[in-house]
């Protein structure tokens, strides 16, 4: 994924069209900063979505584990008191 793709439209947007008066340096820097912030915002949104999905998956697993009997939990090697610990450990790995 290219963070900065330039074509004639983006060059005109950043520098102003050829017939327009030249933009001051501060205006150009502000426009460039706004242009470069978009990919960063998208990455942050993806991280938030990934974290939300992880929380949903942990809640689903916690719900399933709490519905299991003590014998079923013993078969997989944990007891009822270790459910939260196991879910926290799986998130860190």
Residues 1-53 pLDDT 10s? 455 566 666 666 666 655 555 557 778 788 888 887 877 788 888 888 888 88
Asked if the model's pLDDT at residue 57 lies above 60, the reply is: yes
Q: Give pLDDT, residue 7.
A: 66
Q: Give the C-alpha separation, 90 to 41, whole Å.
A: 28
| Residue 2 covered by a domain | no
Q: Give pLDDT, residue 83.
A: 83
| Residue 35 covered by a domain | yes
Structurally, how many domains does the chain consist of?
1
Q: Give pLDDT, residue 75.
A: 92
Give pTM, 2 decimals: 0.49
Tell me, rounded to whole angstroms, the distance of Cα 88 from its chain centroid.
20
Q: Give pLDDT, residue 62.
A: 86
Which domain range does residue 39 map to? 22-92
Side-chain half-sphere of 15: how many Cα atoms within 13 Å? 10
What's the CA angle centered on 59, arms 89 and 45, to 5 degrees?
Answer: 85
């Amino acid at each position: 994924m290219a963070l900065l793709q330039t074509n004639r439209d983006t060059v005109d947007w950043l520098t102003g069209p050829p017939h327009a008066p030249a933009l001051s340096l501060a205006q150009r820097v502000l426009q460039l900063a706004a242009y470069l912030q978009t990919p960063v915002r998208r990455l942050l949104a993806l991280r938030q979505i990934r974290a939300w999905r992880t929380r949903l998956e942990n809640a689903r697993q916690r719900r399933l584990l709490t519905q299991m009997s003590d014998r079923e939990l013993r078969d997989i090697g944990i007891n009822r008191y270790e459910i939260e610990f196991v879910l926290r450990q799986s998130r860190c790995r």
